[in-house]
Amino acid sequence: MNKMTSKHPPVGELAGIISNFIRFKRSMGYIYQTEEGILQRFSLFTMRYTINNNEISLQLIEAWLERRKDEKASNHKTRTLCVLQMLNFAAKHGYEVYFPVLIKKIKVPEYTPYIFTKAELERFFNACDHIQPYPGTSRHHTIPVLFRLIFSCGLRASEAANLKCSDVDLTAGVITVRNGKNGKERLIPLSDSMSRCMEQFSHRYDNYKDKYFFKGKYKSKLQRHIIYKWFRICLENAGIPHLGKGQGPREHDLRHSFCVHSLKKMQEKGVDLYASLPFLSVYVGHASINATQHYLRLTAEFYPDIIEQINRQCSEIIPSVEVGKI
């Protein structure tokens, strides 16, 4: 069981049931850190209302469900669904919960992944190699390794940031990704060139004396927003335009590009995509093969020959999805 505890536990009349719900979710293997923060804020929110005899009023719930000014649709959806799940749990454990009769479906704008071309990747990594030093950081040495690892292993940025020195086995050429999305753990083999790159980096900073493989300012843990900031700098230096807020490219698109370029290589080598797609799905830590297929459907305009082959080979197990309507 996950034994993580919050610095700010739930408060108020619902503190007990919220804590029980968080323990329940973690007992099922979920990390539940982001959600714990949401539920802690919800517990603070409930203190504006009177809760008697374990009754959670409709007024309280509707006030929480209301979308706030300038709140992103994705954030609204996350905090709404999280609390509704907890309230459903509470209703099954003795609480009288007055759910709204109709909850409107929260629509989150679909983001179409930006797929880097081979030429763009070359320019991007060249920009990484020529990044200027910044006081208090090792960014000029970290950035070339960090973004190559994210791309070559199809990592999420959070997985790279959370990578510990103990998770890196350069002798075997393998890294262990722990607590990935949905709490999954997986082993990822490194290419020879990536292993050499990481070995040179680790020797330069004697990384194994530290907890995390990549570090931020003054050897603190590298934060997601710093990774994104570095990504935008390299993107600009590479002459690749950013299309605006919510349009990308994002650092996560390196992962998307890895998936697409991997499938393209497989096709060029005559590999059976029907047999290979599940392996790629496991490699990048997708919950199911449909998640891998979801990314590729959105890239049909880039590599229609790949999509045609997937449709031909996988039509029986993967439903057809129209681009732009997923």
For the record, the structure tokens of 263 come out as 């499938």
Instruction: Return d(Cα 243, Cα 111) in angstroms, integer.
Output: 12
Q: Choosing from 255, 256, 261, 297, which is the catalytic residue?
A: 255
Kindly report the CATH number assigned to the domain that includes residue 197: 1.10.443.10
Q: Which of 177, 206, 237 is the last residue of a domain?
A: 237
Q: How far is CA 16 from the centre of its chain?
A: 30
**Residue 228 forms part of a structural domain:** yes
Q: Is the pLDDT of residue 132 over 50?
A: yes
The total domain count for the chain is 3
Which among 151, 182, 149 is positioned nearest to 167, based on CA atoms?
149
Question: Does the active-site annotation cover 181?
Answer: yes
Q: Choosing from 181, 217, 224, 294, which is the catalytic residue?
A: 181
Q: Is 176 helix (H, G, I), strand (E, B) or coil?
A: strand
Instruction: Report the pLDDT averaged over residues 44-67.
Output: 92
What pLDDT sits at residue 239?
Answer: 96
Contact between 100 and 35 under an 8 Å Cβ cutoff? The reply is no
Q: Which of 174, 202, 237 is the last residue of a domain?
A: 237
Give the alpha-carbon dihedral of 133, 160, 290, 248, to 10 degrees. -20
Instruction: Return d(Cα 273, Cα 59) in angstroms, integer.
Output: 52
Q: Choosing from 26, 148, 156, 250, which is the catalytic residue?
A: 156
φ, ψ dihedrals at 169, nearest 5°: -115, 90
Same domain, 222 and 294: no
Instruction: Return d(Cα 147, Cα 143) in angstroms, integer.
Output: 6
Question: Does the active-site annotation cover 178?
Answer: no
Which residues fall within 8 angstroms of residue 165, CB to CB, at 6 or more apart?
202, 207, 208, 210, 211, 212, 213
Question: Does the active-site annotation cover 255?
Answer: yes
Q: Choosing from 25, 79, 123, 286, which is the catalytic residue?
A: 286
Amino acid at 205: Y
Q: Choosing from 212, 295, 297, 303, which is the catalytic residue?
A: 295
Please, which pLDDT band fits residue 107 given cuts at 50, 70 and 90? low
Same domain, 206 and 300: no
**Residue 129 forms part of a structural domain:** yes
For the record, the structure tokens of 170 come out as 């350069």
Same domain, 233 and 149: yes
Peptide bond into 249 cis (omega under 30): yes
pLDDT in tens, 248-262: 899 999 998 888 888
What pLDDT sits at residue 42?
Answer: 96
Same domain, 206 and 140: yes
Same domain, 218 and 303: no
Q: Is the pLDDT of residue 229 over 90?
A: yes
Q: Is the pLDDT of residue 317 over 60?
A: no
Q: Choosing from 139, 252, 256, 261, which is the catalytic residue?
A: 252
Same domain, 232 and 126: yes
Instruction: Report the pLDDT averaged over residues 192-202.
Output: 91
Task: Identify the residue with better confidence: 52 or 126.
Answer: 126
**Residue 1 forms part of a structural domain:** no
* pTM (predicted TM-score): 0.65
Q: Is the pLDDT of residue 48 over 90?
A: yes
Contact between 128 and 148 under an 8 Å Cβ cutoff? The reply is yes
Q: Is the pLDDT of residue 320 over 70?
A: no
Question: Does the active-site annotation cover 252?
Answer: yes
Contact between 127 and 84 under an 8 Å Cβ cutoff? The reply is no
Same domain, 72 and 39: yes
Same domain, 136 and 230: yes
Please, which pLDDT band fits residue 324 given cuts at 50, 70 and 90? very low
Give the alpha-carbon dihedral of 98, 102, 103, 107, to 10 degrees. 180
**Residue 325 forms part of a structural domain:** no
Which residues fall within 8 angstroms of residue 50, CB to CB, at 6 or more apart?
none
Question: Does the active-site annotation cover 141?
Answer: no
- The overall average pLDDT reported for the chain is 82
**Residue 34 forms part of a structural domain:** yes
Same domain, 232 and 297: no
Same domain, 81 and 180: no
**Residue 65 forms part of a structural domain:** yes
Could you tell me which residues are beta bridge partners of residue 212? 164
Which among 104, 67, 61 is positioned nearest to 84, based on CA atoms?
61
Q: Is the pLDDT of residue 296 over 50?
A: yes
**Residue 113 forms part of a structural domain:** no
Find the farthest-apart pair of alpha carbons in the chain and give their distance in angstroms, rounded.
67
Instruction: Report the pLDDT averaged over residues 18-45.
Output: 88
Same domain, 75 and 124: no
**Residue 91 forms part of a structural domain:** yes
Q: Which of 237, 268, 303 is the last residue of a domain?
A: 237
Instruction: Report the pLDDT averaged over residues 112-128.
Output: 92
Residue 92, domain extent: 15-97
Same domain, 91 and 156: no
pLDDT in tens, 263-289: 778 777 877 766 777 778 888 887 777
What pLDDT sits at residue 119?
Answer: 95
